[in-house]
Amino acid sequence: MSADRGSLPRYIVQRILLVIPMIWLALTIVFLLLRVAPGDPVSAAVGGKLDAAALASRRHSLGLDRPLIVQYWDYIKDVATFNFGQTISDNRPIIDVIRDNGGATLTLTLGAFLFALVFGIPLGLLAGRYRDTAADAVIRVFGVVSYAAPIFWTGLLAVILIAPTGWPTYDIASPVTKFEVHPVTHILLVDAALSGNADAFWDVLQHHVLPCLTLGLLLSGVFIRLVRVNLLHSLQGDYVEAARARGIAERHVIRRHAFRNALVPVITIIGLQVALTMSGAVLTERTFNWPGLGNQLVKYLVARDYSAVQGLVTFFAIVVVIVSVFIDILNAVIDPRVRY
Amino acid sequence: MFKTLTSPIRNTSGMARWILLAGLIITAAFVIMAIFAPWIAPYGFAQNSSDGMRFPKMGPPSAAHPLGTNDQFFDILSRVIWGARTEVTVVVLSVLFAVSVGMPLGLLSGFLGGWADRLMVFVMDVLYSFPSLLLAIVFAFLLRGPLGGGTFAAALALTAIYIPQYFRVVRSTTASAREATYVEAARAIGARNGTIMGRYLFGNVIQSVPVIGTLNAADAISTLAALGFIGLGIQPTDAAEWGYDLSRALDDAQSGIWWTTLFPGLAIVLLVTGLTLVGEGLNETVNPTLRKRRFRKVRMPANEPTSALVEGEV
């Protein structure tokens, strides 16, 4: 292997260049699925409500009466300029939907990750360190169950338990806060902080707790399982054996040699979790009536709004590709073995 | 036959064996529920009265309805039991579909190599990196029109998300097995590509399928329930489905009605846990690197080895 091939800048450039074909392919798949396959999107969404002439004009204004190849080209071109199209059912630009609802999804998923990291990694290390003991068994069962439990079910149970206490279990903020805080960044938590209104900020924060915990619980299950397996692998590594042979105290071997190496793949895990988090966010938002993108997606799915579904799914696909590339690069910076 | 089936249990020890056994018992219980649902369930899955008496609406657990009734006057115990039938059917179908599409593609791709292989890997990677639930949502959304919201449509929607997994595993095994000596030997005696793939590679590659199969089955249950929860799953008139029942429970939760939430969810958790345990147990038996090695302590009398050695030399 030449020194140049393994160089970091080169790897980063390669990875970034690969984003373009990946996004293009994802867009093509989305287009093929949502535009080519079914019948007429306009009559599916607003069928019974408009007469034939109005339907035809809607089709025309959305460009749905043109040849598919033209539509495909326009779609790719539009996405390149961050134009994700227009919803059919309520006639909004999809970029507006993303702007208004994306912030709620962002804070939800970040909060969930924070919770999963703080909670999942120590438990995973503990289970791996004390393998096959009662603690390991309990943690493993917890890991399996928290992963097995559907997120909307844990969410609903949390609502049932917490709702009687008066702690908020619904939506991202109380109506008063929503009225008081003016959108600046469109991320309510940030906007509330910027407004300097302590009550509003506290209110939004309170509303975040339950949804973030619910989504974080799902993610922590994955963290526990993977960190545990990583630790088991690194405990069997030659370098651990070597450290032991040199007479280094077991406590030290575990902390310095095994734990650190077991934690390297955590970044990769986070990368792999992005997709799962998104799926989880859709369900969490539905459970807590959280005004995020997932809830909007479900709304448009129920309305059979192909155009809105296409736009939102496109956005999700792009986010996944970009985040995974970002994680890959981060991984390469941390772990030189990744860049080959 | 029985021996090969029970060999994973015999080959494991300690915790791995318990995990496998517990998983098998839980899974078997649900399969039995699924097969004998009409005899086990006290009522039909969409039955809201019996002997001319209407069931209570959202009635708490009672003698007549051990798990209570929901907002549609249905008996929850019956819906949980009938639900097992729906889940098992959908999951078996979807895993079968996914294996029968993903495996041949993976074999072909891994065996052929070259640009065809690269292209397929790239497409599958993009599909795989896509959030699986979103993919299932898109497929369920599309299949609803032509196929209706039945069991078959749900199974097909799930199939789409598992194909890349079988493809990847089978492809990588094939790609490494392609250079193995037995393939070379087969080629030397003049076997054609089809024969090599069908006869020699297939047998070696299929071993990794049961593990992914059970883990996928677990995942499929969650995804099916999620589709049901969103309202894209199986139509309530077609069959009982746990996820759909939970979506109906959404409004009850705020007002403290717990039985409509607890029991369908518990069924999901149990079945998913059972299948995951089977998968993990199988994984530890199939994958020896995960197995814990047991060292047997060699006992040596304190000073004797040296003297024995000396004596031996004499």
pLDDT at residue A11 in the model = 82
- A55 phi and psi, to 5 degrees? -60, -45
Residue B203 tokens read as: 């047998």
Q: Tell me the shortest Cα–Cα distance from A320 to chain B, in angstroms.
A: 7
Confidence of residue A198 (pLDDT cuts 50, 70, 90): confident
pLDDT at residue A284 in the model = 93
Cα–Cα distance measured from residue A314 to residue A297, given in angstroms and rounded to the nearest whole number: 11
Q: Which residues of chain B have pLDDT under 50?
A: 306-314
pLDDT at residue A241 in the model = 86
Per-residue pLDDT for A133 more than 70? yes
Angle at A96 between CA A94 and CA A99, to 5 degrees: 115
pLDDT at residue B286 in the model = 67
Using a CB-CB cut-off of 8 Å, the residues of chain B touching A44 are 145
pLDDT at residue A1 in the model = 41
B261 touches chain A (CB under 8 A): yes
Global pTM value: 0.82
Higher pLDDT, A194 or A210: A210
Strand B53-54 relative to strand B49-50, pairing: antiparallel
Question: Is the separation of the CB atoms in A289 and A295 below 8 Å?
Answer: yes
Confidence of residue A112 (pLDDT cuts 50, 70, 90): very high
Confidence of residue A187 (pLDDT cuts 50, 70, 90): confident
- Cα separation values, A192 from A188, A196, A204, A210, B17, Å: 6, 7, 8, 19, 53
Residue of A268, A320, A339 whose CA lies nearest to A14: A339
Q: Tell me the shortest Cα–Cα distance from A196 to chain B, in angstroms.
A: 31
Question: Residue A294: closest CA among chain B residues belongs to which residue?
Answer: B134
**Would the CB atoms of B268 and A232 count as touching at under 8 Å?**
no
A34 touches chain B (CB under 8 A): yes
Looking up tokens 């209110």 gives A203
**Long-range pairs for B6-11: beta carbons < 8 A, 24 or more residues apart:** B8/B281, B8/B282, B8/B285, B8/B286, B11/B285
Per-residue pLDDT for A34 more than 90? no
pLDDT at residue B244 in the model = 87
Per-residue pLDDT for A119 more than 80? yes
Number of neighbours of residue B299 by Cβ within 10 angstroms: 5
Residue A133 tokens read as: 């003991």
pLDDT at residue B8 in the model = 64
pLDDT at residue A218 in the model = 86
- The overall average pLDDT reported for chain A is 84
pLDDT at residue B303 in the model = 54
- Which of A279, A314, A318, A324 to probe the B interface (max B CBs under 10 A)? A279
- Residue B297 DSSP one-character state: P
Question: Residue A37: closest CA among chain B residues belongs to which residue?
Answer: B142
**Would the CB atoms of B249 and A149 count as touching at under 8 Å?**
no
Higher pLDDT, A196 or B27: B27
Mean pLDDT across the stretch A193-217?
A: 89
Mean pLDDT across the stretch A186-194?
A: 84
Confidence of residue A247 (pLDDT cuts 50, 70, 90): confident
Give me the residue from B123, B246, B277 closest to A152, CB to CB: B246
**Would the CB atoms of A37 and B142 count as touching at under 8 Å?**
yes
pLDDT at residue B310 in the model = 45
Looking up tokens 């439990």 gives A149
Mean pLDDT across the stretch A98-109?
A: 91
**Would the CB atoms of A150 and B256 count as touching at under 8 Å?**
no
**Would the CB atoms of B127 and A283 count as touching at under 8 Å?**
no
Percentage of residues of chain A with pLDDT beyond 70 = 95
Per-residue pLDDT for A154 more than 50? yes
Looking up tokens 């025309």 gives A60
Using a CB-CB cut-off of 8 Å, the residues of chain A touching B276 are 144, 147-148
